[in-house]
Amino acid sequence: MPSPALAALLACPRCEAPLSQYPDSTYGCGGCGLKFPLLDGVPCLFAEPASTLAEWRQRWQFAVEKLANDASGLQLELQNPRLRPLTRERLTLLGEAFADQARRLADLLAPLALHHAQAGLATHLALQTRLPTDQGLTTYYPNIHRDWAWGAAENAKSLKLVSAALGAGGTPGNLVVLGSGAGRLAYDLHHQLRRAVTVALDFNPLLALVAARATDGTGVQLWEFPIAPRSIGEQAVLRTLVAPKPVADGFELVLADALRPPLQAGSVDVLVTPWVVDILPEDFRAFAARVNGLLRPGGRWISFGSLAFSQPEAASRYSLEEVLAIVMDSGFAEPAVREDQIPYMCSPASRHGRRELVVTIAATKDAPAPRPARHQAQPDWLVGGTQPVPLLPAFQLQAMTTRIYAFIMGLIDGRRSVTDMAKLLADQRLMTREEAEPAVRTFLTKMYEDSQRPPGF
Ligand SMILES: C[S@@+](CC[C@H](N)C(=O)[O-])C[C@H]1O[C@@H](n2cnc3c(N)ncnc32)[C@H](O)[C@@H]1O
């Protein structure tokens, strides 16, 4: 359904011109002419929508094939006549769940296949809009079940902390959740605060499509595979993912990149970043300036979650003190901060669960910040392909280790022993004989263990 309140907020992620909405509910850019498809009704507002969806499609196909493959692996194991009856019961349940989950994911994400034009990959690369490789379709899969199946207590705690940070009544107007995942916090905030529009933005189509089905009341069933199942029956649990009641008008799911947000500068009243600032590949200094640019003067930023930065450079793995200093240097007044211990991902089907000391930071924009450069997903030498590939120290080390690995793997011929291989390494002067034997054993142990890993979703 067309949504004027959302349309008024949106800008083209490529050229930043305002977007128009057509009668069929799709969006298009009046500036550069880009058209944005809908995925099961959710607008895909990526700077290069066809290529980004093609990347997600590959990840989806990989996830479905892996599940089908894992199910076949279990079928093979089940042919062993010496299996104990309980083991047979467990493997049967898991195998059936993997196969059924493959079908369910294939159905749920079928709309991805509608947009299968591969064209535009070069533009996609040139625009620096590639998806980060560490973000698989199922990277945050447990969040889906926490949000819409068993997580009432955890969800209520998050809602309480975020809404308390906004203060009584909060700021009127719109609210945007960046990195909204499967959407529960955005849904709860929408019902509690009753904004004209609440935008739940994430770039993962599995999470967005589950959010769409859960919040419109249709619901969807998917399997949960707990980390530490409490019993055989909890190896795989079919969950119904649905909101307590269909979401009120004004709740808008958007598929987009938080680092190229399709939002007009200075248009957002409240921006919430739950469990997000530390997982983005962008340095927090640039991201804080980006948030400032999206907010209107006096707008609020609520950052919520742990601060577990894992950037490659130690300098960017900020402490709480540094985060607060950066927020204040980015055009925000001194923020209110609180720390609370909350349960996190404690599935009733699992023996595993975490406690997290979460930080809630509430900051008000009091000045504009210098605009950060466009986020670059990859360095120019990788995108263009004509510049020299830099001889980074890490590449040199990888080249060396890869040569040694390839050499040892090439020595496996079904006849040589660990001692024979160590002797050959020493003959090649890659190592001394004393070093070589334990090194070959450690390496082959790892390769063997990798080959024995259980299948898993
Ligand atoms: C740790 S999860 C938190 C999800 C949700 N806020 C929650 O608390 O359950 C991080 C979320 O950020 C999303 N995300 C990561 N990078 C993003 C990006 N560049 N643009 C949009 N979403 C992103 C992921 O897909 C994921 O849903």
| Predicted pLDDT at 455 | 59
What residues have CB less than 8 Å from 399, skipping those under 6 apart? Answer: none
| Residue ID of nearest Cα to ligand 1 atom 5 | 181
Instruction: Enter the DSSP assignment of 132.
Output: P
Which has more pLDDT, 131 or 347? 347
SS (H, E, C) 341-401: EEEECCCCCECCCEEEEEEEEEEEECCCCCCCCCCCCCCHHHHHCCCCCCCCHHHHHHHHH
Cα 4 to ligand 1 centre (Å): 26
Cα 218 to ligand 1 centre (Å): 23
Angstrom distance (rounded) from CA 199 to CA 175: 6
Residue 66: its H or E element: helix 49-78
Cα 375 to ligand 1 centre (Å): 17
Pocket test for ligand 1, best of 42, 143, 202, 283 (most atoms within 8 A of CB): 202
Question: Quick one: which atom of ligand 1 is closest to the CA of 273?
Answer: 6
Q: Are 224 and 129 in contact (CB under 8 A)?
A: no
| Residue ID of nearest Cα to ligand 1 atom 14 | 179
| Predicted pLDDT at 130 | 61
pLDDT in tens, 7-17: 999 999 999 99
Residues in the chain: 457
Cα 277 to ligand 1 centre (Å): 9
Residue ranges lining ligand 1, Cβ < 6 Å: 140, 143, 179-181, 202-204, 207, 257-259, 274-276, 279-280
Cα 274 to ligand 1 centre (Å): 8
Question: Quick one: which atom of ligand 1 is closest to the CA of 280?
Answer: 16
| Predicted pLDDT at 301 | 98
| Phi-psi map region of 298: left, alpha, beta (phi>0 left; psi -120 to 50 alpha) | left
Cα 258 to ligand 1 centre (Å): 9
pLDDT in tens, 264-313: 999 999 999 999 999 999 999 999 999 999 999 999 999 999 999 999 89
| Predicted pLDDT at 436 | 85
Question: Quick one: which atom of ligand 1 is closest to the CA of 276?
Answer: 10
| Residue ID of nearest Cα to ligand 1 atom 10 | 276
Checking if the pLDDT of 178 tops 90, the result is yes
Angstrom distance (rounded) from CA 387 to CA 349: 52
| Predicted pLDDT at 55 | 87
Percent of the chain with pLDDT over 70: 92
| Predicted pLDDT at 407 | 84
pLDDT in tens, 234-260: 999 999 999 999 999 999 999 999 999
Pocket test for ligand 1, best of 184, 189, 203 (most atoms within 8 A of CB): 203
User: If you average pLDDT over residues 193-210, what whole number do you get?
Assistant: 96
| Predicted pLDDT at 201 | 98
Question: Quick one: which atom of ligand 1 is closest to the CA of 274?
Answer: 6
Cα 413 to ligand 1 centre (Å): 46
Angstrom distance (rounded) from CA 89 to CA 426: 50
pLDDT in tens, 354-405: 999 999 999 999 999 999 888 776 677 776 677 888 888 888 888 877 877 8
Checking if the pLDDT of 132 tops 80, the result is no
pLDDT in tens, 60-104: 988 898 999 999 999 999 999 999 999 999 999 999 999 999 999
| Predicted pLDDT at 119 | 44
Instruction: Report pTM.
Output: 0.87
Average pLDDT, rounded, for the chain: 91
Question: Quick one: which atom of ligand 1 is closest to the CA of 158?
Answer: 8
What residues have CB less than 8 Å from 427, skipping those under 6 apart? Answer: none
